[in-house]
A and B are shown apart, each in its own frame.
Chain A
Amino acid sequence: MAQWIPRLIDGLIITMQATLLGFALAVAVSFVVGLGSRIRVLRPVFRIYVEVFRGTSALVQLFYFFYVLPLLGVHLTPLVAGVTALGLNFGAYGSEVVRGAIEAVPRGQHEAALALNMPRWLAMYRVILPQAIRTMVPPFGNILVDLMKATALLSMISVGDLAFVGKQVLQSEGSAVGAYIPVMLMYFLFAVVLGRAVRGAERLASRGLGEVTA
């Protein structure tokens, strides 16, 4: 079994890469769509995007990117296809988080910015978003951990992540316990680390507003 350890670590590194890249894309998409939805003409397009990606399965989306895009002349490496699919999938959820957090900032804050003659973009950038981001941190933390778990799907399109290595171990050693217990422990440890990071981010975010942290 020991000879598999370097392979498992390689797999874990790919899982980490996919998680962080996918999350970065998801956050970027969330803000573009969440903020863009405030512009009336863009709203229907973004609405359709959100409904389609939230209404269908992540694995189906992944296969769509992997099998269908090449037919349309778009050739992506498996990792890029996978990260893009996950980023767009979780971005659809994240955009709702961004939208909700912005709407949760009290009306009086918009009014005060207006009374100080701030243009709308400035009010958003300096007054509304800094407050909204604090409410966004916990839900984005959930998205991060969910996305990490979803990266296992990438093994289905031949990305050599942790789940993929697990399957290789199973095939050559023939023991599901020996193959998957170490893999699950590695995922779990990564989830714990991410959970810690999220709680740290929550503390950091709430500090400015002096909210009571549990």
Chain B
Amino acid sequence: MTDSAGVPAIRFTGCSKRFGETVVLDDFTWDVPVGRRVAILGPSGSGKTTLLRLVMTIERLDAGVIEVFGRPIATGRDVPSSRQISERQVREVRRDVGMVFQQFNLFPHMSALQNVTEAPIRVLGKSKEEAAEHGRELLRQVGLQGKEDAPPRQLSGGQQQRVAIARALAMEPRIMLFDEVTSALDPELVGEVLEVIRQLAEHSSMTMLLVTHEIGFARDVADEVLFMEHGRVVESGPPEQVLGSPREERTRSFLRAVGPH
């Protein structure tokens, strides 16, 4: 494994991104060590979701480089053309990254199990039997045994999001990105999704970036908290420090605003 010799799971070097006039990421440099669970907090528009979308290559980087296990996955327009990476290389590196979305984004025309097995069969080239077996196992892990044949529209929001987690896991990524995965859920469904992620954090060694508004969950699962605003890091550190006794006034007022935990 290349990540043994201190190579970070994700390395951001001088990353910038703007949408029109709005700067959402400003000269951002940061290493995520292998196996680290990072909770990313911040007010809306602080750039935290964009950070994940840049790693997933959904958004294009304006400047800088993002590397995954030492290999570039995204390069900014400022990077000389000799160091730009091909679509094929991006796909190679992207294999290690999985993502769960705020809006689930399940494929509505496929059953729960098909959602989970589609990419392993067609992208990883697994046999149908192998993918189905693994898919059933993953659905069982997220508590959806018996829902294999259900189409997404027959599942609750919490169940859909758990299918989405299983779908991402089926690709066996070494890094998982969770983008506000409970924000679109009714309050009573939030718990079941967070519990699945908690279990996952406990029983795997995956590197995780979690953009969330659930402060209690961040305290439980994360071993690092990053507080962002206006595309910059306001402060970062262990959860008990950032959430318990924040150094920065901005962090304090944000935590006060989202309520006591």
Contacts and interface: CB of A to CB of B under 8 A. Distances in A.
B63 interface: no
Interface stretch (A22-30, A109-117, A170-178, A184-192): A109-117
Nearest to A134: B109
Contact of B122 (A109, A118, A209): A118
A130 B122 CA distance: 16
Interface residues of B, number: 28
A112 B118 CA distance: 12
Contacts of A157: none
A112 B171 contact: no
Contact of A108 (B56, B91, B101, B123): B101
B167 A116 contact: yes
Contact of A114 (B56, B122, B151): B56
B126 to A, nearest CB: 13
Interface string B110-121: 000000001100
B91 A115 contact: no
A131 B108 contact: yes
A1 to B, nearest CB: 52
A122 to B, nearest CB: 6
A111 B57 CA distance: 9
A152 to B, nearest CB: 38
Nearest to B171: A116
- Main SS at interface, chain A: helix
A209 B95 contact: no
B254 to A, nearest CB: 27
Given A117-B94, A117-B123, A131-B108, A209 B153 contact: yes
Given A111-B58, A117-B95, A126 B118 contact: yes
B107 interface: yes
A209 B109 CA distance: 6
Interface of A: 106, 108-109, 111-112, 114-119, 122, 126-127, 130-131, 208-210
Given A115-B168, A117-B95, 8 more contacts: A108-B105, A112-B106, A115-B101, A116-B119, A117-B94, A117-B171, A119-B91, A126-B122
